[in-house]
């Protein structure tokens, strides 16, 4: 059993990795005991880096998980599958037929004693999903491009919808405890994480009710690039 007083970073291996060309975050999560691991949003250009890190940490990768399919996400999932024989995971709404697992809302992906729960959060694209992990009284969420730090993913192309994104964030992410740590798919201002409470208080792009079928403006600051 995991000690009830343990902090989640004490009982789970965690690395936040960065790809500067697209300001993309990749996340490596691993189980200390079994040495099983997952990677969230791997980038093709950084596959060698990720494999080296897995080797150095003595981890066995079991799954790659893409939070969505999009032009800026040139995923490294297929290459990691080819090199390491892992299972690839993508939303069941993505239309991707070559994934090993087309995840549905509420589905759980396990690695060792840990797990992440899939929450479908469309709006940036129809395939977006967020991943929730709970550890005793702590909750963390990997939001992909649905919720960024003080921003959100753009909604003006590729099955985007501002109204759908607003509902997704408020129903599936803002419903988590305010202390929930938020790890986004991108950041363009040097920020690495936030909390649900912070975003409720300070994320102006998601604080006002969005009308149905809005005319979404082009992004006007770097946070909204993708």
Whether residue 81 has pLDDT greater than 60: yes
Whether 135 contacts 116, CB under 8 Å: no
pLDDT of residue 219: 41
pLDDT band (50, 70, 90) for residue 208:
confident
Q: Kindly report the pTM of this predicted structure.
A: 0.89
Range scoring the smallest mean pLDDT among 70-74, 104-108, 129-133: 70-74
Structure tokens at 26: 């990749």
Phi and psi of 23, rounded to 5°? 50, 40
| Total H helices, total E strands in the chain | 5, 12
pLDDT of residue 6: 64
Going from the C-alpha of 14 to that of each of 40, 72, 79, 163, the distances in angstroms are 11, 24, 22, 33
Contacts 24+ apart (CB under 8 A), 175-179: 176/132, 176/139, 176/141, 177/139, 179/138, 179/139
* DSSP symbol at 222: G
Q: Which of these, 5, 120, 8, 32, lies nearest to 68 by C-alpha position?
A: 120
Where are the chain's structural domains? 9-214
CATH topology of domain 9-214: Metallo-beta-lactamase; Chain A (3.60.15)
Range scoring the smallest mean pLDDT among 12-16, 90-94, 116-120, 182-186: 90-94
Instruction: For 6-64, write each residue's pLDDT tens digit.
Output: 677 778 999 999 999 989 999 999 999 999 999 999 999 999 999 999 999 999 999 99
pLDDT of residue 157: 76
Q: Which of these, 35, 32, 16, lies nearest to 185 by C-alpha position?
A: 16
């Amino acid at each position: 059993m995991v000690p009830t007083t343990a902090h989640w970073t004490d009982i789970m291996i965690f690395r936040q990795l960065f790809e500067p060309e697209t300001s993309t975050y990749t996340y490596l999560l691993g189980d200390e005991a079994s040495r099983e691991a997952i990677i969230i949003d791997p980038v093709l250009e950084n596959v060698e880096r990720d494999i080296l890190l897995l080797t150095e940490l003595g981890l066995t990768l079991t799954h790659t998980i893409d939070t969505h399919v999009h032009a800026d996400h040139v995923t490294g999932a297929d290459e990691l599958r080819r090199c390491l024989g892992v299972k690839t995971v993508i939303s069941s709404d993505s239309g991707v037929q070559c994934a090993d697992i087309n995840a549905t809302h509420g589905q759980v992906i396990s690695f060792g004693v840990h797990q992440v729960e899939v929450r479908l959060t469309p709006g940036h694209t129809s395939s977006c999903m967020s991943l929730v992990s709970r550890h005793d009284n702590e909750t963390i969420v990997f939001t992909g491009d649905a919720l960024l730090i003080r921003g959100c993913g753009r909604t003006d192309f590729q099955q985007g919808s501002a109204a759908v994104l607003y509902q997704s964030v408020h129903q599936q992410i803002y419903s988590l405890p305010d202390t929930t740590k938020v790890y986004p798919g991108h950041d363009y201002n040097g920020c690495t994480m936030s909390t649900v409470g912070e975003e409720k208080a300070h994320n102006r792009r998601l604080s006002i009710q969005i009308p149905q079928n809005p005319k979404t403006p082009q992004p006007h600051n770097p946070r909204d690039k993708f």
